[in-house]
Amino acid sequence: MPVAETADRLAPAYLRHAVGMYRGYHYSGQQPGVHRGLPSLGVTVVISLDAPTLVALDAGEPALGYASLASGMTVGPAYIPHDGSQYGVQLELTPAGARDLLGLPAAPLAAAVVPLPDLLGPDARELIDRLAAAPDWPRRFDVLDEILTRRLDRAPRRDPAAEVAQAWDILVAQQGVVRVEQLAKAVGWSRRHLSARFAAEFGVSPKDAARIARFDRSHRLLRADRKLSLADISARCGYYDQPHLDREWRALAGAAPTTWLAEENLPLRPLD
């Protein structure tokens, strides 16, 4: 019998600046296919509880298998082929979470897939083993709470420049509907200087981060309320019109919204 199980839990308050929702997923007996990992404003961490997760950042490249991985911001999809089964845990770290929990800014992880042990050292092995041994989702999430809290407690503070952090906060608060010139003016830097410092911290330019923010909001709305028309979503997310939304989806997701919905063969549920 096919299985389609997901479980979520919000990270404890102490960790919430670094990571938001924990998501567990277990699919089996589904149709084989290729799942698209879509761009978002953070660093994605995936820990497999069964077979390695196969990932390619280019549709024409062979997918490589990872027992656990971290991948930063990108302006294209990740391609995740599967045989109808997927079993693991996924986290979305903020850029601050990348610094505090992984020990480096988000930029080195941009458009890359890195094995988690390369970043966490022995903590990765403990995390993988204890998640695999835990009997249910609540106790797996307890393991995440414990190990991530421990890493945060001993992490040295490596905050980015105040101006870079301020620009990021404005961009996120505006959900990407902000011009780079406005960000530069708000922090008192030139557009060129802001763009260089921003990319050095996050791995994408302010312009591309704004594109990702608008796209991510449209993706969440598309999954949350199927009654919304694409024209409504376009207007809510700051696109000029629906053709603009379609072009951005083709660029960032590799498919228009309706095509993505039709091709995604793992059961979708709303994103919180």
Q: Report the CATH number that the domain containing residue 171 is assigned in CATH.
A: 1.10.10.60
Pair (222, 173) in one structural domain: yes
Q: Token digits for 25?
A: 């997923």
Pair (59, 91) in one structural domain: yes
Predicted pLDDT at 272: 65
Determine the structural domain holding residue 110 and report its residue range.
3-154
Pair (132, 230) in one structural domain: no
C-alpha torsion sign, points 106, 79, 254, 173:
negative
Residue 179 neighbours by CB under 8 Å, 6+ apart: none
Pair (124, 149) in one structural domain: yes
Place 144 in a pLDDT band, splitting at 50, 70 and 90: very high
How many domains does the chain divide into? 2
Per-residue DSSP letter, 99: I
Predicted pLDDT at 225: 65
In a domain? residue 271: no
* CA atoms of 117 and 86, how far apart (whole Å): 21
Pair (76, 178) in one structural domain: no
Work out whether strand 19-28 and strand 86-93 pair parallel, antiparallel, or are unpaired.
antiparallel
Among the candidates 99, 120, 154, a domain finishes at 154
Pair (138, 232) in one structural domain: no
In a domain? residue 270: no
In a domain? residue 268: no
Quote the mean pLDDT of the chain: 94
pLDDT tens, position by position, 194-240: 999 999 999 999 999 999 999 999 999 998 867 789 999 999 999 99
* CA atoms of 86 and 49, how far apart (whole Å): 9
Pair (123, 176) in one structural domain: no
What separation in angstroms does the CA of 94 have from each of 69, 105, 189, 222, 253?
16, 10, 24, 22, 21
In a domain? residue 220: yes
In this prediction, residues 130-158 reach a mean pLDDT of: 94
Strand partners, 26: 5, 87
With a threshold of 0.85, does the pTM exceed it?
A: yes
Pair (13, 124) in one structural domain: yes
In a domain? residue 24: yes
Query: At residue 270, does pLDDT exceed 70?
Result: no
In a domain? residue 269: no
Predicted pLDDT at 198: 98
Pair (33, 88) in one structural domain: yes
What separation in angstroms does the CA of 143 have from each of 217, 229, 242, 254, 267?
30, 40, 43, 35, 26
In a domain? residue 84: yes
Among 11-15, 214-218, 222-226, 242-246, name the one with the lowest average pLDDT. Answer: 222-226
Pair (144, 12) in one structural domain: yes
Among the candidates 121, 154, 187, a domain finishes at 154
In a domain? residue 272: no
Pair (82, 98) in one structural domain: yes
Per-residue DSSP letter, 263: H
Among the candidates 119, 154, 189, a domain finishes at 154
In this prediction, residues 86-91 reach a mean pLDDT of: 96
On whether the CB atoms of residues 101 and 109 are closer than 8 A, the answer is no
Query: At residue 94, does pLDDT exceed 90?
Result: yes
CATH number of the domain at 112, please: 2.60.120
Give the orientation angle of helix 206-224 with respect to helix 180-187, to 10 degrees: 120
Pair (169, 247) in one structural domain: yes
Residue 42 neighbours by CB under 8 Å, 6+ apart: 73, 92, 93, 94, 95, 97, 106
Work out whether strand 64-66 and strand 53-55 pair parallel, antiparallel, or are unpaired.
antiparallel
Query: At residue 102, does pLDDT exceed 90?
Result: yes
